[in-house]
Amino acid sequence: MADQPSNIPESFAGLEEAFLPDRAATVNKTIQFNFSGAEEGVWHLVIAHGAISYGQGAAENPNATASVDSEDWLKLLRGELNPMSAVISGKLKIKGDPLLLAQFQTWFRPPA
């Protein structure tokens, strides 16, 4: 992502900017994000056949649901927090498809 996100809306806009459509050409996944902390709320992200969309609110039948503090989410996207460390430490909890986290990282350019 060109700019480092400082809030949740910027984080999703940054994901859209960093999205690599060729790497997600055959993907059809929906992820719901349950944020706690300073920016509590629910967002969703849909990757469908090389296209990305996102928005506020719950997803209908998500493949996975990620629960994370909003500040930890921003740290993950800025490369300040390792995703696997976040899962192991309980900072990031994933319900549903456990492999989605590993796949997720491949659909986007890494933070600069």
pTM of the model: 0.92
Banded pLDDT at 3 (limits 50, 70, 90): low
Domains of the chain and CATH, by start: 8-104 (3.30.1050.10)
**Residue holding tokens 């629960």?**
67
pLDDT in tens, 69-88: 999 999 999 889 998 899 99
pLDDT in tens, 17-45: 999 999 999 999 999 999 999 999 999 99
Query: Tokens in use for 92?
Result: 């990031």
Strands 64-69 and 51-56: what pairing? Answer: unpaired
